[in-house]
Structure 1
């Protein structure tokens, strides 16, 4: 995998975060493969999900957006590749989730994303996403 492919995957992860935070639904939706699966654990608790398929993942995310009154910022950092290939890769990254509301900013939680990404029609998409959060958000 060359550096241009890695950069494209970094941008995919950043677009997923920005799409959610800015509520740019089309951008967020474009980050996931049709057959994508998402799971999460909060504070070493039970597995939440799986949310299976593009439509179910987007329903979960837009539902979460509707209940949030704050402005969230998913900061993605410490991105590295666990497995690399021409058509698929496994990527780990750190999450720092902050929120602004009523003139103050607070740290909501931190966590780790484990993403399996695949190339679909020349573009990288998230196929499997698991998020381990340190605290409930």
Structure 2
């Protein structure tokens, strides 16, 4: 049953990315270009996501455990260190120069947008190298 709910959650997330414009790298780059052709519409998408996550987490924490898992799977790291800041910087540079972050890139891959055909393999290589260097 978990795979079915995982698939449905991913499908809803992907549709939200498409409908919100996050799978369009030009829209993302215009959002990031505050001194040029700035498009503030993605701020509403991100604001809606933040509100939804806030409410969802508040409801989830009222439960003893998740419905389909024996326990919540929470990260244990709490400190801000060089690895976290370096990873965030690399993520931001990649997002700003390509207009893609991982979720929207996977969503845009089936339409074979030229940027995704470069970004997704580079992202996978980066993930593999990052794990190997860890």
TM-score range, shorter chain: under 0.3
Structure of larger gyration radius: 2
Q: TM-score, normalization: structure 2? A: 0.24
Higher helix share: 2
Q: TM-score, normalization: structure 1? A: 0.24
Higher strand share: 1
